[in-house]
Amino acid sequence: MKIHEYQAKEILKKYSVPVQDGIPVKNMAEFDKALAELQARGINQFVVKSQIHAGGRGKGKIYDVRNRENLLLEGGVKFTTLPEKATEYAEKILGNILVTHQTGPEGKIVKTIFLAEGLDYKKELYLGILLDRSVSKNVIMVSTEGGVEIEKVAEETPEKIIKEWIDPSVGLQNYQARKLAFALGLQGEAFKSFIPFIKNLYRAYEETDASLLEINPLIITNDDRVVALDAKMNFDDNALFRHPEIYAYRDLDEEDPLEIEASKYNLNYIKLDGNVGCMVNGAGLAMATMDIIKLAGGEPANFLDVGGGANKETVANGFKIILSDPNVRAILINIFGGIVRCDRVAQGVIDAAKEMAVKVPIVVRLEGTNAKEAADLLAASDLHFEVAKSLKEAAEKVTSVLRN
């Protein structure tokens, strides 16, 4: 699960991590109150930050929601020392469309902005924490190239990314915190401030079951304070039951409607850009199915794992989700019968296809327990399924159907 920058900063504050002060705003009435509140705190520099679940906000473009051709503003993050200018930026950003390199050309409507204090600083740095699955350890990555996408740094100057792996049995040690501070070239008060900063940040990452915590940029202010100027946090969905206060941050407006619908039925679904709907049991088999569709010349429209207990109900819900995508022109069902019997899945496919009056071609490949009985059921039905014996044959049949 992803959350917004202002929400991540609310969490980090609880762990004594210094962050940029600010107030989230959803309409202009709230903006006027927030502006007055920040001025009352002695703040006289302002940053108006768009809040969407995508990177590159500062380099994005704001378009009029009523006329997509009308460019209102260059950049979704704007700095000013003038209150009236901050108001002007907010009016142009709120309720309009922000397009960045991560949103795609359709962009996202900005429904919340973060009115934050403008800080003077002398250095921008990068800091990220995530799980390195190859060694089963969390890794802290730092770089002197703050304010730049880490992917670009990794591609162009990988030597500028310094990594420190954390042994889960002992946690982050003081010598590792110092090592990271030296790697960033910190000295004096900035060096001293960084040690508690990174230790508190790592504690926040671990205790919230985060899967990613990224500070970009991490700044060194003119008076040598270490402050998180931006913050991005993602969380392990499987651990959210332990954190209802974090789950409450979920913003459904930022998620794909089909993915939200699939989650209601405990289906693992991710929408893609192709035209072949995929229904598979098991994440690994689903990935392999998408790969072989691509090799056969097709384009998968989705990742859909219906789980190990596929039955009529899960198949029907799978059809419902897949067919909600207008780009789907054919469906490939690929089930391996281990826990579940293939004949039961086949009957579920037949019943669901009849009830939902599925109009697009369906290619079915069932292998494993009672696969022969399943094939007989499909052949005896009055529905026109294309039945395949191998995954390669299934992919070739579904792409052939698309070409006809």
**So what's the pLDDT on residue 293?**
95
Catalytic residue flag (residue 205): no
**So what's the pLDDT on residue 310?**
63
CA-closest candidate to residue 166, choices 157, 175, 158: 175
Length of the chain: 404
Range of the domain at 352: 257-403
Instruction: Give the separation between CA 81 and CA 321, rounded to whole angstroms.
Output: 49
Type of residue at 21: D
The answer to whether 339 is annotated as binding is yes
The answer to whether 49 is annotated as binding is yes
Catalytic residue flag (residue 214): yes
- The active-site residue out of 214, 367, 386, 396 is 214
**So what's the pLDDT on residue 345?**
82
Instruction: Give the separation between CA 138 and CA 126, rounded to whole angstroms.
Output: 17
Pair 218, 327 in one domain:
no
Pair 133, 102 in one domain:
no
- The active-site residue out of 89, 126, 202, 249 is 126
The answer to whether 232 is annotated as binding is no
What end-to-end distance do the CA atoms of the chain give, in Å? 40
The answer to whether 119 is annotated as binding is yes
Pair 272, 387 in one domain:
yes
Burial pattern 157-184, b for ≥16 Cβ within 10 A else e, equals eeeebbebebeeeeebeeebbeebbebb
Q: Which of 223, 247, 271 is the last residue of a domain?
A: 247
Pair 129, 28 in one domain:
no
Pair 125, 113 in one domain:
no
Residue at 191 is within a domain: yes
Residue at 13 is within a domain: no
Pair 282, 338 in one domain:
yes
> For the chain, what is the total number of helices (H) and then of strands (E)?
13, 20
The answer to whether 230 is annotated as binding is yes
What contacts 369, CB < 8 A, 6 or more positions away? 337, 338, 340, 341, 342
Q: Which of 67, 94, 117 is the last residue of a domain?
A: 117
Task: State the CATH number of the domain containing residue 211.
Answer: 3.30.470.20
Pair 303, 171 in one domain:
no
Q: Could you tell me the mean pLDDT of each successive run of 10 residues in the chain, 404 residues long?
A: 97 97 95 96 96 92 94 96 97 96 91 96 96 95 88 87 95 97 96 97 98 96 96 94 96 88 85 92 91 94 82 79 90 84 84 82 89 86 84 92 80
Pair 327, 214 in one domain:
no
Residue at 7 is within a domain: no
**So what's the pLDDT on residue 283?**
86
Q: How many domains does the chain have?
A: 3
DSSP per-residue codes, 75-86: -SEEEES-HHHH
Q: What number of other Cβ atoms are within 10 A of residue 149's Cβ?
A: 16
Pair 380, 261 in one domain:
yes
**So what's the pLDDT on residue 383?**
79
**So what's the pLDDT on residue 148?**
77
**pTM of structure:** 0.83
**So what's the pLDDT on residue 311?**
67
The answer to whether 281 is annotated as binding is yes
Q: Which of 85, 117, 149 is the last residue of a domain?
A: 117
